[in-house]
Structure 1
Amino acid sequence: MDTMTDIPRFPASRPLAFGDKPRLDALFVDLQPRVSELTFANLYLFREAHAYRLTLVGDSPVVLGRGYGGVEYFLPPLGGDVAGALLMLLDGGMTLYGADGSFVARYLTGEGMIVEEDRDAFDYLHLRQEMAELPGNRFHKKKNRINYFSARHSFNVEVYGARHREGCLALLDEWRRVRDGIDSPSLDLETKAAAEALMLSDRLGLEGVVVLVEGRVAAFALGERLSLDTAVCHFEKSDPFMEGVSQLVDREFNRLLFTDCTYINREQDLGEPGLRAAKLSYHPVELVKKYRARRG
C-alpha cells in the first residue's frame, strides 16, 4: 500500500484487489465485525459499485469508498492506531461511514464531532434458529406461503455448487429483466455483484442453497460467516412469479448453513419501502445501527 506523508483531502490509495484477501481476512478475524460491509467478499464484489480503494493511514489500513449517490467516505480503520487514523482523516475533511455503536462510543465522542444515524444502512439481525424454524404465530404468514409453494410444486433443496451456476445466473437475469424500468441506482450494480458471487463463490468463501423445481433453479441464497456467532446473507434471489419460494429459500439457508451461528445478518434496506417492510416482517431481534461522522 501507499503511505501518507501528510494529510491530503483524499489519501494516496489503490483499487481493492483479490490479492488483498489474505490480509483483510486476517484483519476481519481480529475485528469480529457486526456490520455487513466488513468482509472481504462484500468489499470485493461491490468494489466497482462503491469504488473501493485501500490506503494506509499511519499503520492503519483504511478502505475508501463512494455511495450510490456519489458521496465519498471511508470505512472504520481496520487496525493499528485507529484513533490516530480517524483524527487525520476527519481533520482532512473526510466523512466516516459504517461505524457501529461500540465504535462510536469508543472513538467518536469528542468535541466538534457530528455523528448521525444512517437508518437506511441499518443491518437487520435475526436469530438464525428462529429463521430456520419460523416458530409461533409471528411467522404464520411465512409458513403459509411456504405451504402454498410446497403444495403446488415438486422441489429439491441443495447446497450451492458449480453444477448450479448456470441455472442461478439464468434466474438472476430473469430477476433483473422483471425489474427493468425500476429507478434504482443499485439495481445493475447489485446484479453484477451477485453474478460474480456465483462465479467466484469457492474462492471468496461463500456458501449457499438452491431451490430446484423440476430441475430448474427457482431461488438461491449466498452468504458467509461474518464473525464467530454471526453469518451474513449477501444475496437472495427468487422467481418473482412463484409465490412462497423466497420464504422457502430464506428458511433453508438458515436451516442448512452456519448452524453453529446464533445470528444471521440480512443486511440493510437502502431506504426502499418495500424492502424495509419485507425485512421487518421477519421480526429482527436488533437493528445494527450504523453511523456517519464528520468534523463540525
Structure 2
Amino acid sequence: MGSLTVNRKKLKKFTIDTRPIMEKYLSRVDAELSDYTFAANFIWLANSSGFYAVINKCFCLFVMTGGELTMLLPPLGKKKNITDAIIKCFEIMNENNSSHYYSRIDYVQGSMVEEFIQDADEAQSMFEMLESYIVEKKLVDYIYEVEALIGLRGNSYHTKRTEINKFVKSYPDYKIEELDSIKHKVEIMNLFNKWTSDRVRYMPKEEAEVYLEGIHQERSAVKQMLKHYAELSLLGIVIYINGELKGFTVGERIRLDTATVIIEKTDFEILGCAQFIFREFSKILKDHYKITYINVGDDMGFENLRKVKMSYRPSKLVAKYTIYQK
C-alpha cells in the first residue's frame, strides 16, 4: 500500500526514508519511553502498514490494522501544537474507521496526557475534555541507573552476581563480538527460533497462547532490525560459547541521558548467560553513549517478564497511556 488519503489529508507511507523527518520532531519532545525512537517503531512495523503526516506542525504516526487506523504515538512536536493535533488526528481516524471505538492513541507519556487535558481550548473546561476522552493507563517502562546494573552491589543483587559468577566459571571460553548484521544474521535467526521454542515450553499455558500470537511479529522485527542495522545506527553485541552464538542484544539512545535495550535473546539452556550479557551490554551502552539510565521497555503484560524486570530494582517506572475518544 502506498499513500493513504483520509478526510482530504494525505498520509504518507512510513519507510526507512522517514527517519530524518521523524527524528527532527522527536528532538522537540522530552520523552524517556522506549517507544519514542524511529528505530523502535520502524522495526516493529515490519509486518504492518505504517503511515505518517505532519498535522498542526506535529509528526503523527498511524498504523493500519484490519482496515482500522490507530496511532502508535501521540503527535510529536512543540507543546503548544500537540493538543490541536490530537483532535485533528481523531477526526482522521474516525473518518476512516468503521467505528469510533477503534480510534486511539497508544504509548502516550504521562506528561503529555497532563498537557493534553490542561491545554484545552479556553472555551472547554478540563471537565469537558475528560467528558470527551478516556485516558487509560496501560504498561510501564522499566528504567534503571546504569551504574547499578554494572556494579550489582548489595544484597538485592546477590542472586544476579551468583548467576554471573557461575556462568563465567562454567564457560571461561566465552567470546563477545560487536554485532555484524551480515556475519551473524543466520546464527541470530537460528537462536531466535530456538529461544521461541524454549520460551513457549516454559511459559504458563495461558501466557503461551497469547504470546504465540505475537511470535510472527517479533520474528519479522528481528529480520527488519538485521536488514537495516547500519541505517538505523544501532549498537549491539553477540556472545559465543564453544564456538556457537548463544546470545545477542541490540540498543540505541533515547535521549541524552538514557539508552534503551531494544531486544535481547539468549539460550535458556546456558544458565547465567542472560544476566551476563545484560551486564556487559550495560557497560558498552554507558561507554558509547555516556548515559546515566537504561530503559528496557515494558513487560508486555507477562507476569514472568515483570518479575525479571522488577528483580533488577528499577529506578523509575514510567507509565504509558492510551487515549480514546468517547
How high is the TM-score relative to the length of structure 1?
A: 0.88
The 1:174–1:101 alpha-carbon spacing in structure 2 relative to 1, beyond 3 Å, is: same
> 1:26, 1:145 → 2: CA distance?
42
Corresponding pairs, count: 290
Answer whether contact 2:142 2:295 (CA < 8 A) is retained.
yes
Aligned counterpart, 1:214: 242
Q: Deviations over 1:130-179 (max 9, x none)?
A: 11221111111111111111111121223223433333232122212334
Q: Deviations over 1:44-71 (max 9, x none)?
A: 1111455432123233220113689x88
Alignment of 1:250 with 2:250, yes or no, is: no
Alignment of 1:54 with 2:47, yes or no, is: no
Q: Which runs of 5+ in 1 are unaligned?
A: none
In the TM superposition, residue 12 of structure 1 has moved relative to its aligned partner by 4.2
The 1:104–1:42 alpha-carbon spacing in structure 2 relative to 1, beyond 3 Å, is: same
In the TM superposition, residue 234 of structure 1 has moved relative to its aligned partner by 0.6
Aligned counterpart, 1:22: 20
Q: Secondary structure at the match of 1:218?
A: strand
Counterpart code for 1:161: D
> 2:157, 2:274 → 1: CA distance?
14
Answer whether contact 2:26 2:77 (CA < 8 A) is retained.
no
> 1:2, 1:189 → 2: CA distance?
23
In the TM superposition, residue 216 of structure 1 has moved relative to its aligned partner by 1.5
Alignment of 1:122 with 2:140, yes or no, is: yes
Aligned counterpart, 2:307: 277
Aligned counterpart, 1:98: 107
The 1:4–1:71 alpha-carbon spacing in structure 2 relative to 1, beyond 3 Å, is: closer
Aligned counterpart, 1:176: 196
1:268 to 285, 290, 298: 298
1:199 to 227, 238, 243: 227
Q: Secondary structure at the match of 1:212?
A: strand
- 4+ long deviations beyond 4 Å: 1-6
The 1:23–1:56 alpha-carbon spacing in structure 2 relative to 1, beyond 3 Å, is: closer
In the TM superposition, residue 38 of structure 1 has moved relative to its aligned partner by 1.4
Aligned counterpart, 1:150: 168
> 1:168, 1:258 → 2: CA distance?
24
Answer whether contact 1:117 1:290 (CA < 8 A) is retained.
yes
Counterpart code for 1:43: N
In the TM superposition, residue 294 of structure 1 has moved relative to its aligned partner by 2.4
In the TM superposition, residue 198 of structure 1 has moved relative to its aligned partner by 2.7
> 2:14, 2:4 → 1: CA distance?
15
The 1:2–1:164 alpha-carbon spacing in structure 2 relative to 1, beyond 3 Å, is: closer
Query: After alignment, is 187-196 or 87-96 more displaced?
Result: 87-96
> 2:86, 2:317 → 1: CA distance?
25
The 1:275–1:82 alpha-carbon spacing in structure 2 relative to 1, beyond 3 Å, is: same
Counterpart code for 2:176: V
> 2:85, 2:70 → 1: CA distance?
17
In the TM superposition, residue 74 of structure 1 has moved relative to its aligned partner by 4.7
Please tell me the root mean square deviation across aligned C-alpha atoms, in Å: 2.6
Answer whether contact 1:3 1:55 (CA < 8 A) is retained.
no
Query: After alignment, is 232-241 or 256-265 more displaced?
Result: 256-265
> 1:152, 1:125 → 2: CA distance?
30
Aligned counterpart, 1:233: 261
Q: Deviations over 1:55-90 (max 9, x none)?
A: 23233220113689x883452101262121112234
> 1:237, 1:55 → 2: CA distance?
34
Aligned counterpart, 1:72: 70
Q: Secondary structure at the match of 1:211?
A: strand
In the TM superposition, residue 15 of structure 1 has moved relative to its aligned partner by 2.9
Quick check: which one's helix share is greater?
2
The 1:295–1:192 alpha-carbon spacing in structure 2 relative to 1, beyond 3 Å, is: closer
2:178 to 143, 155, 159: 159
Answer whether contact 1:225 1:258 (CA < 8 A) is retained.
no
Answer whether contact 2:46 2:220 (CA < 8 A) is retained.
no
Q: Which runs of 5+ in 2 are unaligned?
A: 95-99, 119-125, 202-207
> 2:161, 2:216 → 1: CA distance?
31
The 1:41–1:5 alpha-carbon spacing in structure 2 relative to 1, beyond 3 Å, is: closer
Counterpart code for 2:178: V
The 1:74–1:222 alpha-carbon spacing in structure 2 relative to 1, beyond 3 Å, is: closer
Q: Secondary structure at the match of 1:186?
A: helix
Alignment of 1:35 with 2:38, yes or no, is: no
Answer whether contact 2:46 2:224 (CA < 8 A) is retained.
no
The 1:4–1:51 alpha-carbon spacing in structure 2 relative to 1, beyond 3 Å, is: closer
How high is the TM-score relative to the length of structure 2?
A: 0.81
